[in-house]
Amino acid sequence: MPKNALSLPPRSTPLKPRRRALVIGASSGIGAALARQLAREGYALALLARRQDMLETLCKEINAASGESRAVFYVHDVREYAAVPALLQRILADLGSLDLVVYNAGVNLPAAYDFENDRLMTEVNFIGALAWLDRVAALFQQLRSGQIVGISSVAGDRGRAGNPAYTASKAALTCYLEALRNRLSRYGVHVLTVKPGFVQTDMLKQAQRPFMVISPEQAAADICKALRRRKQFLYTPARWGLIMLIIRLIPSFLFRRLRFLA
Partner 1 sequence: MDTLPPLQTLLRLSNFGRSLYAPGYTYQPVSVEEIEQIFKTARRQGLTVGLRGAGKSYNDAALNGGGIVIDLRRMNRILDWNPETGVVRLEPGVTIQQLWQHILPDGWWPPVVSGTMTTTLGGCLAMNIHGKNNFRMGTLGEHVLEFTLLLPTGLEILCGPKKNRDLFYAAIGGLGMLGVFTTITLQMKKIRSGLLQVRAWNVPNLAAHLNALEAGAPAHDYIVGWLDATARRAGLGRGQIHTADYLTEEQDPRPQHSLRVEYQTLPSTFFGLVPKSLLHYFMAPFMNNPGTRAVNTAKYLLGLTARSYRQTHAAFHFLLDYIPDWELAYGRNGLIQYQSFLPKETARDAWTEMLTLSHRRGLPSYLGVTKRHRPDEFLLSHAVDGFSLALDFKVTDRKRARLAQLLQDFDRIVLEAGGRFYFAKNSETTPQTARHFLGQEAMAKFKALKKRCDPHNLLESDLYRRVFEEDE
- Answer yes or no: 166 catalytic: yes
**Per CB under 8 A, which region of 104-112, 123-131, 143-151, 216-224 contacts partner 1?**
143-151
| Candidate list 40, 51, 79, 90; residue touching partner 1; CB under 8 A | 90
In this chain, which stretch among 31-39, 103-111, 141-149, 194-202 interacts with partner 1, using CB under 8 A?
141-149
| CA dist., res. 42 & res. 253, Å (int) | 50
Cβ-based nearer residue to partner 1, 138 or 204: 138
Which one, 48 or 151, has the nearer CB to partner 1?
48
Dist CA 183 CA 181 (whole Å): 5
- HEC-encoded secondary structure of the chain: CCCCCCCCCCCCCCCCCCCEEEEECCCCHHHHHHHHHHHHCCCEEEEEECCHHHHHHHHHHHHHHHCCCCEEEEECCCCCHHHHHHHHHHHHHHHCCCCEEEECCCCCCCCCCCHHHHHHHHHHHHHHHHHHHHHHHHHHHHHCCCEEEEECCHHHHCCCCCCHHHHHHHHHHHHHHHHHHHHHHHHCCEEEEEEECCECCHHHHHCCCCCCCECHHHHHHHHHHHHHCCCCEEEECCHHHHHHHHHHHCCHHHHCCCCCCC
Residue 157 has φ and ψ, to the nearest 5°, of: -80, -25
Q: Does 4 bind partner 1 (CB under 8 A)?
A: no
Interface with partner 1 includes 1 (CB under 8 A)? no
The residue annotated as part of the active site, out of 43, 74, 103, 166, is 166
User: Minimum distance from CB of 14 to partner 1 (Å)?
Assistant: 4
Please count the residues of this chain forming the interface with partner 1, following the rule CB under 8 A: 24
Considering only 21-29, 66-74, 87-95, 251-259, which stretch makes contact with partner 1 by CB under 8 A?
87-95
By CB under 8 A, tell whether 188 contacts partner 1: no
CB of 8 to partner 1, least distance (A): 9
Member of 64, 65, 86, 258 binding partner 1 (CB under 8 A): 86
Options 8-16, 30-38, 153-161, 248-256: segment touching partner 1 (CB under 8 A) = 8-16
- Based on the shown chain and the rule CB under 8 A, indicate whether residue 97 belongs to the binding site for partner 1: yes
Give me the residues that bind partner 1 (CB under 8 A), please: 10-17, 85-86, 89-90, 92-97, 138-139, 142-145
Q: Which residues are catalytic?
A: 166
